[in-house]
Structure 1
Amino acid sequence: MGPGMSFVNSVLERDPCLGVIGLLPCASGGTNITEWKQGSDLYNRLLKKANAALRDGGKIRAIPWYQGESDSADETRAKMYKKRLIEFFFDIRRNLASPVLPIIQVALASNVGLYYVVVRKAQLEIKLPNVVCIDTKGLEVKKNDTLHLTTSAQVHSGKMLANVFLHIEV
């Protein structure tokens, strides 16, 4: 269970005139930000899906981005996270020919990883045009893994994403 369905339902509930909303899931659990750098398999897969949607008449209105737990386990990766994430945002916007494409960054909810505070701080401090950060800290994580959000927390985070999406300038 992820926030996608809750996001779509919340958006359409509040603005049914938007019509069909397509999601292009590209998540890959347990990956660090370097695995998403330009030219990597994950990055290329993301671009391939996005370009296919654009060819079929779609419009990319925003990118929700929820990643970073793996980076919080390593001091060097945590310290480099902000720089690498900003680079990723610039690269994806450039490759999609959309220099102000809205990005909704989700700050980590869990405190797994010795350096989670460093990664969360980086996420919360990014100040780029049309990049908005929502903070999921305090949402309930699963008791059995203390990393993933519970179903109800996923639903709530989807609603948080929808709220930001509906208020960004596209």
Structure 2
Amino acid sequence: MANSIEKTTQDLSHDDVLQGKNIVVLAGQSNMSGRGGVINDTWDGFVPPECHQNSSILRLSAGLTWEEAMEPLHRDIDVVRTCGVGPGMAFANSVLEKDPSFGVIGLVPCAVGGTNISEWRRGSVLYNQLIRRANAALQGGGVIRALLWYQGESDTVIHKDAELYKRRLMKFFDDVRSDLMSPILPVIQVALASGKGPYKEIVRKAQLETNLQNVKCVDAKGLPLEPDGLHLTTLAQVELGKMLADAFLQNVPLPVRSNAPKRFNNFFLDLLGIPFR
């Protein structure tokens, strides 16, 4: 498996840069995997300029090979429903626009639509897939810079799920950090713009009040929704991607934001005591 990843990165002829690629894991449910432009399970194919391809933005495929990223990012991961535009490409393009020295970004799609937080518990299929893909992304070099997380719509249906959401969410973040051996891995989560049930505000409160170190929250409330009232529109996904990029760049440790020290990993950042503020 590792050999196939290494071969693919070599084929991209960016060896030196790829060894220092900045890996960002995308996880959660449908608004992370992307339903922008999807109406009646058909994607309109519109890709806004903020989501354009860029040779400095890569994507880890379902087959664990690196390729140039393009929409829909989750097309071979969230396979039950049609994927459209999500926040990932707008996020990566915005990061590179605002900090051209940042280097190659490697996106790792892991989101699956319709999933609740219990389905992401440690040992579950989704959790194991996330950890497997994140570790595979590290083969051939690079550092996991952050987890972007947008999930919770499915937990607004049953009151008990909404009430338990904060505890389950914090356990999930702790477990991911532990299993990736990155105890202060930056996490940027999204507070819900919509929900499947009547308990959206309980889940939103849990998200906005998550008090773990290096866990930041951006609020999607008020962003335009598709006619289904659940999924963000394409332009809303672009706006969310920019919001995520701003939160990321405002909080990323300064030594990561230049070319020379880019190969520092989270282990060394931890040793140096550099916080993700």
Answer whether TM exceeds 0.5 for this pair.
yes
Higher strand share: 2
- 1:125 Cα deviation after fit: 0.7
Higher helix share: 1
State whether structure 2 residue 208 is matched by structure 1 residue 163.
no
1:108-119 paired onto structure 2 within 5 Å: 108-119=192-203
Alpha carbon RMSD of aligned pairs, Å?
0.8
State whether structure 2 residue 188 is matched by structure 1 residue 104.
yes
User: SS of the residue aligned with 1:76?
Assistant: helix
Kept after mapping to 2: 8 A contact 1:112/1:146 = no
State whether structure 2 residue 240 is matched by structure 1 residue 153.
no
Gaps of 5+ in 2: 1-84, 254-277
Separation in structure 1 between the aligned mates of residue 203 and residue 184 of structure 2, nearest angstrom:
24
State whether structure 2 residue 215 is matched by structure 1 residue 126.
no
Gaps of 5+ in 1: none
User: Sequence identity of aligned pairs in percent?
Assistant: 62
Amino acid at match of 2:103: G
Separation in structure 2 between the aligned mates of residue 150 and residue 130 of structure 1, nearest angstrom:
29
Structure 1 counterpart of 2:144, from 52, 57, 60: 60
Q: Give the corresponding residue for 2:32.
A: none
Kept after mapping to 1: 8 A contact 2:148/2:187 = yes
TM-score in terms of structure 2 length:
0.60
Q: How many residues align?
A: 169
1:8-27 paired onto structure 2 within 5 Å: 8-27=92-111
Separation in structure 2 between the aligned mates of residue 56 and residue 119 of structure 1, nearest angstrom:
38
Structure number with higher relative contact order (C-alpha < 8 Å, ≥ 6 residues apart): 1
Q: Give the corresponding residue for 2:270.
A: none
Q: 1:36-71 CA deviation, whole Å, 9 max, x = no partner?
A: 000000000000110011122121100010000000
Separation in structure 2 between the aligned mates of residue 70 and residue 58 of structure 1, nearest angstrom:
33
Kept after mapping to 1: 8 A contact 2:154/2:195 = no
Separation in structure 2 between the aligned mates of residue 73 and residue 50 of structure 1, nearest angstrom:
30
Separation in structure 1 between the aligned mates of residue 98 and residue 190 of structure 2, nearest angstrom:
21
Separation in structure 2 between the aligned mates of residue 161 and residue 79 of structure 1, nearest angstrom:
26
Structure showing greater radius of gyration is: 2
TM-score in terms of structure 1 length:
0.97
